[in-house]
Amino acid sequence: MEREVKTKRVGLARALSKLGYCSRSQAAELIRAGRVRINGTTRQDPETPVRLHQDHIVVDRQAVQAESRIYLMLNKPRGLVTTASDESGRKTVYSCLGDGLPWVGPVGRLDKASEGLLLLTNDSEWAARISDPSTHVDKTYHVQISTLADEELEAALTRDIRTASGEVLRAKRARVLRKGNRNAWLEVVLEEGKNRQIRRMFEHLGIEVLRLVRVAVGPIQLGQLAKGKVRQLTSREKATIDQSIGAQPRPKGSGY
Q: Enumerate the domain spans of the chain.
A: 2-63, 71-134+219-245, 138-217
Q: Return the CATH number of the domain spanning residue range 2-63.
A: 3.10.290.10
The DSSP bridge partners found for residue 184 are: 145, 179
For residue 99, indicate whether it is catalytic: no
Comparison of pLDDT for 2 and 160, the residue scoring more:
160
**CATH code of the domain occupying 71-134+219-245:** 3.30.70.580
Query: Tell me: the pLDDT tens digits for 65-111?
Result: 877 899 999 999 999 999 877 777 889 999 999 777 888 999 988 99
Half-sphere exposure of 115 (CA within 13 A, CB side): 17
**What is the per-residue pLDDT across 28-72, written as a single tens digit (0 to 9) for each?**
999 999 999 999 899 999 999 988 778 889 999 888 887 789 999
Among residues of the chain, what percentage have pLDDT more than 90? 61
pTM metric for this prediction? 0.79
Q: Catalogue the long-range contacts made by 238-242 (C-beta closer than 8 Å, 24 or more residues apart).
A: 238/71, 241/130, 241/137, 241/217, 242/126
Q: Do 71-134+219-245 and 2-63 have the same topology in CATH? A: no
Catalytic residue among 86, 111, 132, 150: 111
CA distance 203 to 166: 15
Give the model's pLDDT for residue 250. 53
pLDDT value of position 255: 54
The top-level CATH class assigned to 138-217 is alpha beta
